[in-house]
Structure 1
Amino acid sequence: MAQQVCSAALAELGLDSERFEIAILACDDARIAELNGDFRAKPTATNVLSWPSEDIDLPIGASPELPDPDPDGPPHELGDIAIAFQTCAREASEQDKPFSDHVSHLLVHATLHLLGFDHINDADAAHMEAIETRILATMGIPDPY
């Protein structure tokens, strides 16, 4: 499922998923709380975390420049995603959403973060949410917002 979802996100942005790699860690709340504490100084469980392979420093409001890997070279490493089963299951239940739809949304969201998209301000959040909604629609998943 993760490969299908991340590939759909890349494809919607015009990127060939065969040219990219994303490492995904499926974990429990205890592990993601540890990661969240180590990397964000927030030692609590969260649904998903992402770490881009390249440092992306964009001004607020700027759109990221999408990577253009060498077609003859090795796949471009986009980064890592950790996703927590327990938090995702709880959130899906609380929001009355199918678990697979919620996880798909979070994987799309994290993939966009690996590419440099963010939601620091309202305009950036609206832009990112619109892209997420468009990607999810290609998979038959309703607007999560």
Structure 2
Amino acid sequence: MKLSLSLQQDVQAPELVLKLGYIKKVVETTLRHIGTQSDCEIGIACVDNEESHKLNLEYRQKDKPTNVLSFPSELPDEMAEFLDAFPIGDLVICIPVVLREANEQGKAPLTHFTHMLVHGTLHLMGYDHETSDEDAEEMEGIEIEILDKLGFENPYLERD
């Protein structure tokens, strides 16, 4: 599997320095873990509260910014044979929300950002945690396994 990744970074934060190579490694690890074998592409935008709020309201009818939004590709799977890399979709990650949540949860900003990247990528691949408790448990279990491969602790453990 080969991954093409585009990164749009509208928000810079000194406590969260993002490198394209690192982001690509996290997304590739996630895709390989769930068995993705075909070449694919993904777009990632790191945005501010205002942009996240606007998109969350427009697409989810939620009147607040959120940590990550996933926009899966609507291209039919049959088109894959005609493309060099199949577009799986786009992620929009709100840096201020990720930083605030990391602080509230006592996590390093990169740790929480990495979790949101894994979480969003799984959403792009069809995983969902809002439909049922079983789906939520499955998705969380996969996230824990992937984050462990990347050297991170279980993000769902309670912190003291």
Whether TM-score is above 0.5 comes out as yes
Call closer, same or farther: CA 1:69–1:107 in 2, change over 3 Å. farther
2:14 corresponds to: none
Q: 2:88 aligns with which of 78, 81, 100?
A: 78
Distance 1:12 1:96 in 2: 27
Give structure 2 stretches of 5+ with no counterpart. Answer: 1-21
TM-score, normalising length: structure 2: 0.77
CA–CA distance in 1 between the matches of 2:65 and 2:91? 14
Q: Equivalents in 2 of 1:69, 1:136: separation in Å?
A: 31
1:30 and 1:23 mapped to 2: Cα distance? 19
AA at the equivalent of 1:143: N
Determine which of 12, 22, 26 is the counterpart of 1:5. Answer: 26
Cα RMSD (Å): 2.2
Number of corresponding residues: 134
Cα–Cα, structure 1 residues 68 and 3, in superposed 2: closer, same or farther, change >3 Å? farther
Aligned-residue identity in percent: 39
- Cα contact 1:69–1:75 (8 A) shared by 2: no
- TM-score (norm. length: structure 1): 0.85
Alignment partner of 2:44 out of 24, 27, 32: 24
Q: What does residue range 1-145 of structure 1 map to in structure 2 within 5 Å?
A: 1-16=22-37, 19-54=39-74, 73-119=83-129, 120-145=131-156
Q: Deviations over 1:77-118 (max 9, x none)?
A: 000100011000000011001111101111111111111010
Where does the alignment leave 5 or more consecutive residues of structure 1 unmatched? 57-66
1:70 deviates by 5.4
- Give the superposition deviation at 1:4: 1.6
C-alpha change, 1:69 and 1:11, in structure 2 (3 Å) is farther
Distance (whole Å) between structure 2 residues aligned to residue 112 and residue 70 of structure 1 = 19
- Larger RCO: Structure 1 or Structure 2 (Cα < 8 Å, ≥ 6 residues apart)? 1
